[in-house]
Structure 1
Amino acid sequence: MKRLWKYFLLTCMSVLFISACTSTKDSTPETKTEKVRIAEVTRSLFYAPQYVAISKGFFKEEGLDIELTTTPGGDKTMTTLLSNGADIALVGSETSIYVSLQDANNPILNFAQLTQNDGTFLVSREKINNFTWDQLKGKDYLGQRKGGMPQMVGEYVLKNRNIDPQKDVNLIQNVDFANIASAFASGTGDFVQLFEPTASIFEKEGKGYIVAAFGKESGALPYTTFMAKESFLKDKKDIAEKFTRALYKGQQWVDAHSPEEIADVVVDYFKETPKDIMINVIKRYKEQHAYATNPLLEKEEWNRLIDVMKTAGQLKEDISYEKLVHTEFANNVIKK
């Protein structure tokens, strides 16, 4: 009887021990996932490292759940950020300068660079075998939004080629950013400045022909960066650094892999774009070093941006690199 009682007690203790261990394991809180809302200025293969970082799970590895929204045009993207419709904006650095000129109490800071030169291409309605920039003179030129990065870089390049965009060409700027491609396809303009993959699709369909790359002409500058309110970067410092680390992984992955491999990873973001077009576009961007290989925005690039804006007549005084560029997170993830 004593032996049976001892056996019963041991069995009960074992059950209690196992239950306690199971209870402790089950009650362990799961890793918290933080949602981060991104507003991107357009959907383009120009932003391949971002889509790679999402698709490869680099943001998830950092505990971040990315909610990506496309808000066509720099003005709409910045409005979305300022009105708290997004935590982070992917847009041209010039937008942060425009906000700072309004004496914003909560300035918009550039904290991670994605692209390091212009991603647009000059497309001609007619096929030109030996294009020279002076062939633009006297032609209808369908440009981008006044004060936006594509238009300012376009004017910067034209002036460097001794072409006055206000006098030597018939500059058309009354078309909304989202409708520029369709306007050209409908017959507006002899030349147009387009992003990829639209430029290559037009070429394949015979609607236009790529004759020059603005990125090769302009030099390195912070064409597209991730930016956020100063308050967000202070209050959500941990999230901002995790975000930058995930982006860096995406940039390194793109730098190390072929256009074919990259296209396979980002295909879900461009379901209507033929695979051969995607590969060709990515190859073109890689060859002109459009993709930044790390998130650090360099001072020399910032100074070129200031020069571009001054040349376009959109900026009268310098805006210091230290005022609007936050390098802490980029430096940290690169070092680690």
Structure 2
Amino acid sequence: MIFTRRAALAALALSTALGFAPQAALAQNAEKPKLTLGVGGKQLLYYLPLTVAEKKGFFKEQGLDVEINDFGGGAKSLQALVGGSVDVVTGAYEHTIRMQAKGQDIRAVVELGRFPGITIAVRKDLADKVKSAADFKGLKIGVTAPGSSTALTAQYAMVKAGLKATDAAIIGVGAGASAVAAMKQKQVDIISHLDPVTSKLEADGDVVSLIDTRTEAGTKALFGGSNPAAVLYLKGDFATKNPVTTQKLANAFVKALKWLETAKPDDVADLVPAEYHLGDKPLYLQAVKNSLESYSRTGVSSPEAMKSMYDALKLLDPELASSNVDLKTTFIDTFAKKAAAGS
């Protein structure tokens, strides 16, 4: 018994010295190894870390069997979590603030995007009349789904420009080819969307971009600072009841973020399903290049970025204007920090 204990300790010390995480040496079984994840538009580059974790086998490395349910937009995946049909969600961070304000304990555990990655663009034949969000009144804005981050960003831009959030019609156009078709067929006048949809429309000359939050500069121009974008979020009691499972999910996502830090656009294009390219691989490569800056480097959102998002929501939503959400309740950062540290 003494020999076994010493051997185990020696093996652990050796693995640590070689750079292996203690969890790898003394693996724990997940409380819930088979789970369901909701997402609103998986093919969008907004959710690329999810596809990387899936296709690179990072979930399986952690002993997890993750079934991914793809919904039409982020608001629908949130509904699925609240309703209990999915265990966790990759979706916009802002949903955690909204739910905490309503007394529902929804929390993020990993930041996937540090900038929203959303571009707001006008149809080219209207570009001479529509120069900014102040000109959106009476127009139709295409978004992934009403209530999703693409819709909220467009509405925030309008409110900031002096309009009301209801001054333009919000039209759900989906996440992929349907969104491209909606603009090409003039079903909408403005589109608030994500890559590769945005880059496809730009490359085809269908739109003129007005607001671009794929970069730090563009995000600061609209919001005044960084804004958490996609996160992995869940019910607070899920993390409490399933801490090992939650840690393993965080490990997989942080590993995906680390892979993206050094990945080249060709690496990404070769990894994802061909249909994600929207029939134009060179265009997809450009879209990836445009988006790589937006992904989180640490998996943890800063207090300043979270406050920036909360301030935007307070300006946009009268129900949140007088709210007092403790932002510490919206993000449990210990899982991402442990994953980043390899512990």
Q: TM-score, normalised by structure 1?
A: 0.78
Q: Deviations over 1:31-68 (max 9, x none)?
A: 88922311112220222222112111122111112211
Secondary structure at the residue paired with 1:124? strand
Q: Work out whether residues 107 and 330 of structure 2, in 8 Å CA contact, stay in contact via their aligned partners in 1.
A: yes
Q: Which amino acid aligns with 2:250?
A: T
In the TM superposition, what is the alpha-carbon distance from 1:141 to its structure 2 partner? 4.8
In the TM superposition, what is the alpha-carbon distance from 1:292 to its structure 2 partner? 0.7
Percent identity over the alignment? 19
Q: Work out whether residues 101 and 324 of structure 2, in 8 Å CA contact, stay in contact via their aligned partners in 1.
A: no
Give the whole-Å Cα distance in 1 for the aligned partners of 2:133 and 2:307: 28
Q: Is 1:192 matched with 2:191?
A: yes
**Within-5 A mapping of 1:164-243:** 164-166=162-164, 171-173=168-170, 175-178=171-174, 182-215=181-214, 216=218, 217=221, 218=223, 219-243=225-249
CA RMSD of superposed structures (Å):
2.8
Alpha-carbon spacing, 1:146–1:45, altered in 2? closer, same or farther (3 Å): closer
In the TM superposition, what is the alpha-carbon distance from 1:311 to its structure 2 partner? 1.3
Alpha-carbon spacing, 1:54–1:115, altered in 2? closer, same or farther (3 Å): same
Map of 2:94 onto structure 1: 94
Q: 1:262 aligns with which of 233, 258, 268?
A: 268
Secondary structure at the residue paired with 2:251? helix
Alpha-carbon spacing, 1:134–1:158, altered in 2? closer, same or farther (3 Å): closer
Give the whole-Å Cα distance in 2 for the aligned partners of 1:133 and 1:83: 38
Q: Which amino acid aligns with 1:249?
A: K
Q: Is 1:117 matched with 2:115?
A: yes
Secondary structure at the residue paired with 2:34? strand
Structure 2 unpaired stretches of 5+: 1-28
Give the whole-Å Cα distance in 1 for the aligned partners of 2:142 and 2:229: 17
In the TM superposition, what is the alpha-carbon distance from 1:232 to its structure 2 partner? 1.2
In the TM superposition, what is the alpha-carbon distance from 1:275 to its structure 2 partner? 1.1
Q: Is 1:251 matched with 2:257?
A: yes
Secondary structure at the residue paired with 1:115? coil
Give the whole-Å Cα distance in 1 for the aligned partners of 2:66 and 2:275: 14
Q: Which amino acid aligns with 1:303?
A: K
Alpha-carbon spacing, 1:298–1:202, altered in 2? closer, same or farther (3 Å): same
Q: Deviations over 1:77-133 (max 9, x none)?
A: 1111122211111111222233333333xx11111111111222122221769x953
Secondary structure at the residue paired with 1:270? helix
Q: Which moved more, 1:219-228 or 1:180-189?
A: 180-189
Q: Which amino acid aligns with 2:113?
A: T
Map of 1:54 onto structure 2: 54
Alpha-carbon spacing, 1:243–1:267, altered in 2? closer, same or farther (3 Å): same
Q: Which amino acid aligns with 2:316?
A: A
Q: Which moved more, 1:186-195 or 1:202-211?
A: 202-211
Greater Rg, structure 1 or structure 2?
Answer: 1
**Within-5 A mapping of 1:298-309:** 298-309=302-313
Q: Which moved more, 1:197-206 or 1:307-316?
A: 197-206
Alpha-carbon spacing, 1:293–1:190, altered in 2? closer, same or farther (3 Å): same
Aligned length: 297
Structure 1 unpaired stretches of 5+: 1-30
Q: Which amino acid aligns with 2:149?
A: M
Map of 2:23 onto structure 1: none
Give the whole-Å Cα distance in 1 for the aligned partners of 2:84 and 2:173: 23
In the TM superposition, what is the alpha-carbon distance from 1:73 to its structure 2 partner? 2.2
Q: Work out whether residues 45 and 278 of structure 1, in 8 Å CA contact, stay in contact via their aligned partners in 2.
A: no
Q: TM-score, normalised by structure 2?
A: 0.77
Give the whole-Å Cα distance in 2 for the aligned partners of 1:262 and 1:74: 23
In the TM superposition, what is the alpha-carbon distance from 1:273 to its structure 2 partner? 3.9
Map of 2:299 onto structure 1: 295
In the TM superposition, what is the alpha-carbon distance from 1:176 to its structure 2 partner? 2.7
Q: Deviations over 1:227-277 (max 9, x none)?
A: 111121111110110110111111011111211222211244615442112
Map of 1:151 onto structure 2: 151
Q: Work out whether residues 51 and 269 of structure 1, in 8 Å CA contact, stay in contact via their aligned partners in 2.
A: no
